[in-house]
Amino acid sequence: MLEFSKIDYDQVFQRYDVITETEATIDDMFEEYAPEESPWRDIAEDVVYMKEDKCAEDIKSALREYDPEEVINKGLIAGMDVVGEAYPRGIYYLPQVIICADVMSAGIELCEEKMAETGEEREAKGTVVLHVAEGDPHDIGKDIAKAMLNAKGYKCVDLGRDVPVEDVVEAVIEEDADLLTGTALMTTTQTAFPKIAKRLEEEGVDIVFIGAGGAVNQAFVHSFPLGIYADDAADGPVIADAIVEKELSWEDFRDQYDDIVPSAA
Ligand code: B12
């Protein structure tokens, strides 16, 4: 028999943000989660404290010394990680998160420009169609993955966010894509992925479909045909290379997943 008298309702309310879990401030979050080394700390600080102009300056100066991929991962994402910790604790609310995300996106654009400078002359290794699942506005991870795929020589057809299932299927066929990627950060939107896979199969399209984003995991993505899970944006070019260069099918890819995908190690 269930015993309800021993339930600690404070914990239930905390879990669902009815009351906040902490008295901590954004400064405390920054101290706890931000990187310590320069220039990553400065860039992370610009994102967390919404300093867009200073962020652009700090990024331009970091790009003189470091790889754009490193600037994204160690500076911009590190800053957004702090924001990601502050949001569920009720320290930052949606308006702040939106502004931080905008600062981060502006920073990613600068890194993308730098990546394009080195990638421009190469012939595209293949075509990748990217999208964020229908109903989902979270496009930061997709933008990072796009920047990395671009940098490694792939033509990226970016369908944006909140993309209907049929538009994804149409674009894959029209572009004769080598690879499809989808990002979902909400449990309510990840359900679009198996629908896309089913529609592609009905159309006779045999393509690897990278499923990624905070809401999904390997078990989910590997539960439908075509799906290959990616945990990290840096997995994108590695997966793309394996598909284009080794001509791996999605079934073969799954068998060799742990050997190919860096974040699986
Ligand atoms: C930023 C943010 C927003 C921003 C989004 C801005 C933008 N342009 O993206 C804004 C403020 C708009 C937003 C809105 C909402 N959000 Co929000 N948001 C977040 C937050 C804080 C961070 C997400 C993020 O950008 N993470 C960083 C990126 C880099 O992570 P990522 O996309 O997963 O990408 C990584 C990997 O997944 C992978 N990856 C991703 N894509 C790809 C693609 C390829 C090819 C590859 C290889 C890899 C890859 O690589 C990246 C790392 O390298 C999270 C909380 C959190 N801690 O995650 C909540 C969160 C995702 N949001 C949430 C919710 C509920 C919402 C709202 C519904 C809130 C509301 N009540 O209104 C609304 C959406 C309303 C709507 N339907 O339009 C929930 C989702 C819960 C769930 N599981 O369903 C979260 C988890 C917060 C929470 N704890 O409740 N949000």
Q: In what order do the strands lie in the sheet with 227-229?
A: 155-158, 127-132, 179-183, 208-212, 227-229
Q: Phi and psi of 83, rounded to 5°? A: -60, -40
Task: Give the atom of ligand 1 at the shortest distance from the alpha carbon of 94.
Answer: 11
Residue 156, in any domain of the structure: yes
The residue-averaged pLDDT of 208-221 equals 96
Q: What is the CATH number of the domain that holds 217?
A: 3.40.50.280
How many Å apart are CA 125 and CA 113, to the nearest integer?
Answer: 19
Most confidently predicted of 77-86, 218-227, 252-261: 218-227
Q: Identify the domain boundary among 67, 90, 119.
A: 119
Structural domain total, the chain: 2
The reported pLDDT for the residue numbered 62 is 97
Strands 179-183 and 127-132: parallel
Is 136 found in the same domain as 114? no
Q: Could you tell me if the CB of 215 is within 6 A of ligand 1?
A: yes
Q: Could you tell me if the CB of 144 is within 6 A of ligand 1?
A: yes
Residue 63, in any domain of the structure: yes
Q: Identify the domain boundary among 119, 151, 185.
A: 119
**76 vs 14, more confident:** 76
The reported pLDDT for the residue numbered 252 is 93
Q: Could you tell me if the CB of 79 is within 6 A of ligand 1?
A: no
Q: Identify the domain boundary among 119, 140, 167.
A: 119
Query: Where in the sequence is the domain holding 220, given as residue range(s)?
Result: 127-264
Residue by residue, DSSP assigns 73-113 as: IIIIHHHHHHHHHHTTTTSS-HHHHHHHHHHHHHHHHHHHH
Contact status, residue 247 vs residue 265, Cβ threshold 8 Å: no
- pLDDT tens track for 116-162: 786 544 468 899 999 999 999 999 889 878 877 876 778 899 999 99
Report which protein residue has its CA nearest ligand 1's atom 37: 213
Ligand 1 centroid vs 185 CA: distance in angstroms? 5
Residue 9's pLDDT band (boundaries 50, 70, 90)? Answer: low
Ligand 1 centroid vs 214 CA: distance in angstroms? 7
Q: What is the CATH number of the domain that holds 96?
A: 1.10.1240.10
Whether 255 shows a pLDDT value over 80: the answer reads: yes
Is 247 found in the same domain as 138? yes
Q: Could you tell me if the CB of 160 is within 6 A of ligand 1?
A: no
Is 156 found in the same domain as 105? no
The reported pLDDT for the residue numbered 145 is 84
Q: Could you tell me if the CB of 151 is within 6 A of ligand 1?
A: no
- If 0-12 CB within 10 Å is exposed, 13-18 middle and 19+ buried, where does residue 104 land? buried
Is 207 found in the same domain as 137? yes
Ligand 1 centroid vs 84 CA: distance in angstroms? 9
